[in-house]
Each structure stands twice: as C-alpha cells, then as structure tokens.
Structure 1
C-alpha cells in the first residue's frame, strides 16, 4: 500500500511540474505586439490616414500602429532622416532625398497626384501657358517643387518664365490672403486652401489644374506624383506581410475618404489636421487623393524627377534615385 501511495505521489508531483513548465512556456510564447510608426505632415497627406489614426483598426495580428501627425514637412523630414518612421507619407521629392541620404527608404506608391490649381480674376488668363506673359502670378516656395513644377510645364511649352513676374509666398495661407484681398489677381493655390479662398473672393475662377495640365503637356495618364508612400527597407524586409496589409488598408481608406468627405473631414479634425471639416467636402473632388501602387506609376516618378533635376538637383538630394528606390511587394 505504501508503495502504491508513493508511486501516486510521484506521479502527481511529475504532472504538477509538467503543467508548471507548460504554463511558463506559454507565458514566454505570448509576444508583445510589434509597434509600427507611421507619419504624415499636416495637409492632404494626413487626410489619407486620418480615419485610420482615429479608429486604429488591426492591420495585421501581432502589430500595433502608432500614427504621428507632424505640423510641417520639415519636421517630418527630420523623423525620416533619423529613420524613426517605418512608414510615411511624404512629398515626392522627399522620398528621393530619403533614399539618396539613408538608402533605407523605398517608394511603395503614390498617395496623391498634384492638387495645385491656377486661379485668376483676369479674363486674359486662360491656362498655364503664354497667357501668363506680362502677368504677376502668385505661388509658394520659390525654387521648391510647387515652383519647379510650374516652371517645367512652361518650359515644355516654350514659354519664357522671365516674362512672368512671380510673387512668392512661404505658406499657402499667405498666398490666399493676397488673392482674397485682391492684392493679386492670379495665383497657383493648393487644395484644401483653394476651396476656402473661393468663398472669400467670388471673382476668382479656377482656370485649370496643374496636374491636368501636366497630363496634357507631358502626355501621361496620372499626372505628377505629389505625395508618396515610403516604407523603411529594413522594416519591410522583416515584415513584408504587414506592409502588404497596410498598403491594402490605406488604399481602402483613401477610397472611403473620397466617397465620404464629411466623415473623413471630421476624422481629420480629430487627428489634428489644420482644416475645417466642411471645407473638405468642397475640396475633395480637387484633392486628387488616390493610391497607385508603384508598379503602375514608375514612369510618373521618372519623368517628374528628371524635370525637377533640370531645375534644382538639391530638391532630390543631389540626383535622380536609381531603380532600387522602388519597393517590390513580396
């Protein structure tokens, strides 16, 4: 009897130890979710992820996404250069700079095509063409991409830019103020600032879109890439399935934004985007928010980057990036 009791006790102890070890092993198997840092600058790029930032849906099991809104493109650039972001929506020239300077960011696709528009109360102005000769035209960012894009269009049409008097503002809000108070009659203004401007000065008319003109002049389907989705190469290499899922989620979210501008505007305000929700409803048709995977828009980047290079190589980080800048989904 004593032997049987001893055997039973031995079995119980063994089972207890086995269960204990199993519990500890299970505890070790529970992994903390991988944190993914996603960033965008204030404005249209941030609108593309505003709803995601508020609802924070599960993109893929085992991952937690942290969305960051930066007040300026310069602040976002600092984050990218420090490689603090795994995924970001950036101005397209910044994608080139990030690749040339860090070799650790690649383009996954376009988030938005050009959203700048020529507006004027001058009846003689009929487009981004020779009708601008002798006129004073407002724009933002002398020597930067909004300026270079327009200059490239005029050059391609053999319009001498020296015959145009440019009035440059540092911010869209400054340009809007000049146009709203009739201190300027012609300007090139981005959405969503444009929609607000048109309510302040009803004499102004939208003459043409810079993106539409780019399509006509350079004979391409999409226009020029204004905002770009970049992914950190080292992160994507280790987490290809997450990146693929995020791209699909972003694409669906942009479609939702275009179809539901009122709700998207409310999400944008909650995210901290500097835009009044009702304004997005008016602006959405002209924002050109659309996700295009890089496999379908490489030529758009090549043409755009070559145009920028011919004016100012610094805006690209010194050179047109090589083919390795383009991310290939696994």
Structure 2
C-alpha cells in the first residue's frame, strides 16, 4: 500500500511541476530600437510604421529631427536598426562599432534648380551656384560632376557655400541667387513657391554617367547591430522584407504616402511628397544588388575627403550577408 501511495505522490508532484513550468510565461524579447531622421528617409518606412506588422517582437520607431542626434544614436550604440547617411556607416565601421549595412534607403536626390536656362553641365560655365555641405556629400557630388564634364570648379564656376539647404531655398526664391543645389523634399517646396524655379540637372544621374555605375550614389542606408543579426536572424529577415515592402508601397502610392507623412508627423507636407516622389529616388533596396555603387562611392570619397569616411575604405565585413 505504501508503495502505491509513494507512486501516486510522485505522479502528483510531477504533474504539479509540469503545470508550473507550463504556466511560466515565455521570456519576452527586448523591443528593437529603430532610429531615423524625419524627411525622405522617414517616408521609406511610413507604411511599415502605419501597419506596425507583427514580426515576433516590438519595434520602437524613433523619429528624430537633428543629424547630430542620429549620429549619437550610432556612436553610443543606442540604435538596434537605423537609417543613416552611408558615409556615417563607414565612420562607425572604422571605429569598430558593431553595425552592418543591410540595404539602401535612398539614392542620390540632389538637383541643380534655378531660374536660368541650363540644359547640360557645360551650360554652367561662368555661372554662380549656391550650395551647401562643404566637405560633405553635396560638395563631393557637385565637384565630381563638374570635373567629369570638363569644368574646373575653381576657374569655370563660382561656387558659394551656405550652411544648409534651408538657406539655399530662400536665396533662390528671393532672387539673390539664380542657381542652387537642393535635395528633396526642399526642392519641391522651392519649385512650388517660385514661379520661375525649374529643376535643371539631376546630379545623381550625372554621377552615374560619370562614374559608370547604374544607380548613382547611395545617399542613405539601413544599418543593423551585429548582435541583433546573430541573436535573432529570423526577425532581421522579416524586418528587411517588411521594410522593402514599405519602400515599394511608398513609390506606388504618393497620395496616400503624403497623407501618412502628415498623419505620422514625418516632416514632409503632402504636396511636397506628391510633387517630388520620383525625384526622392527611393528604391533598389537590397545591398547585394548594389555593391558596385557602394564601393565606387567610398572610393570617390577616399580620393576626395578621406576623413569623411574615417580615413579608410571598408572591407566586405561591413555588409550584411544572409
């Protein structure tokens, strides 16, 4: 009898242990911190933010409005995933920060705009151009395009540098300048406000022609923390698929994208979204399809301003691989 009682007690204890284990909730994963600037890059994620797809863990969408805060989120390793300028990705890599490039958010969206009649780069000879970003991508792209088309940026063109694109636009609209370099969406705002303002030259297309690449130069990219790639590769793949879907949706639905931009406070008015969607150069996301463009862009920076990427070319370990 004692034997049966012992067996029965053992069964009860085992059942209790098993039920207790079953009752324990599965340990939840930490939310993923997704950081990006307002403006065009935010638009690429608009549909994803709006749908907030179930990817197996929570995503915190952190939209910021200052480049230095974006850089700080990488330098302090606060971001798990971020949309950042492609040169910042190399700076981080050269500082041994744990991020890999997973794809392109936007390609070059710098344009020469103005009230003059300019049909080709050669028409810029003897002209004055107001631009911004001295020592950064806007200067690099402009000087490279001028040189590749036979113009000396010092002797043949007068280049006036301003602090930001926000200063170039008012100069054009006030008539103090007749030619300027602007990115989207600031470009659309100027064209809509200025009766004589025209989009004259696409610097990304001119870069592509000069450098012999298909897509131009990668302006902003998505980086992912290596630890997230290693610990949760399934989530990373789902995230990249949903983000790519969001990019495709953005290109196909400018009106709805404009509505989302205003509803989600992404920093671009609907009118500018609809007017400028084709010039924003969103698309061609997968990194494996764009290696030539990245390598060419980094080499061009290395030749022009090495400190802009931290003084060294990255190797293939900077890129996300499946």
TM-score, normalized by length of structure 2? 0.93
Alignment root-mean-square deviation, CA: 2.0
Query: Would the alpha carbon gap of residues 115 and 15 (structure 1) be closer, same or farther in structure 2, given more than 3 Å must change?
Result: same
Which residues of 2 match residues 124-139 of structure 1 at below 5 A? 125-127=118-120, 129-139=121-131
| Equivalent runs, 1:111-190 vs 2, <5 Å | 111-123=105-117, 125-127=118-120, 129-163=121-155, 164-190=157-183
Q: SS of 1:139's equivalent?
A: strand
2:200 is aligned to: 207
Please tell me whether the aligned partners of residues 149 and 308 of structure 1 are also in contact (alpha carbons under 8 angstroms). no
* Distance in 1 between residues matched to 2:197 and 2:240, nearest whole Å: 38
CA distance in 1, matches of 2:255, 2:119: 32
In 1: Cα distance, 2:176 partner to 2:7 partner: 94
CA 1:170–1:271: 2 relative to 1, 3 Å: farther
Residue 316 of structure 2 corresponds to 323
1:29, distance to aligned residue in structure 2 (A) = 5.1
The 2-side partners of 1:177 and 1:237 are apart by 48
What CA distance in whole angstroms lies between the structure 2 residues aligned with 1:172 and 1:271?
24
Whether the 8 Å CA contact 1:36–1:86 is kept in 2: the answer is yes
Deviation at 1:52, TM superposition (A): 2.0
**Does structure 2 retain, via aligned residues, the 8 Å contact 1:172–1:189?**
yes
Give the match for residue 229 of structure 1: 222
Matched, 1:306 2:299: yes
Pick from 248, 257, 275: which aligns with 1:255? Answer: 248
Structure 1 residue 10, shift from structure 2 partner: 7.6
Counterpart mapping for 1:1-330 below 5 A: 11=8, 14=10, 16-28=12-24, 30-59=26-55, 61=56, 63-123=57-117, 125-127=118-120, 129-163=121-155, 164-329=157-322
Distance in 2 (alpha carbons) for counterparts of 1:153 and 1:19: 75
Q: Where does structure 2 lack aligned partners over 5 or more consecutive residues?
A: none
Displacement of 1:82 after TM fit?
A: 0.9
Q: Shift in Å at residue 233 of structure 1?
A: 1.4
Inter-partner Cα distance in structure 2 for 1:10 and 1:326: 59
- Alignment: residue pair count: 321
Unpaired runs of at least 5, structure 1: none
Residue 19 of structure 1 and its aligned partner are, at CA, apart by 3.6
Q: Which moved more, 1:144-153 or 1:263-272?
A: 263-272
CA–CA separation in structure 1 for the residues paired with 2:197 and 2:270: 23
Is contact 2:45–2:243 with CA below 8 Å preserved after alignment? yes
Question: TM-score when scaled to structure 1?
Answer: 0.91
Contact 1:54/1:270, CA 8 A, preserved across alignment: no
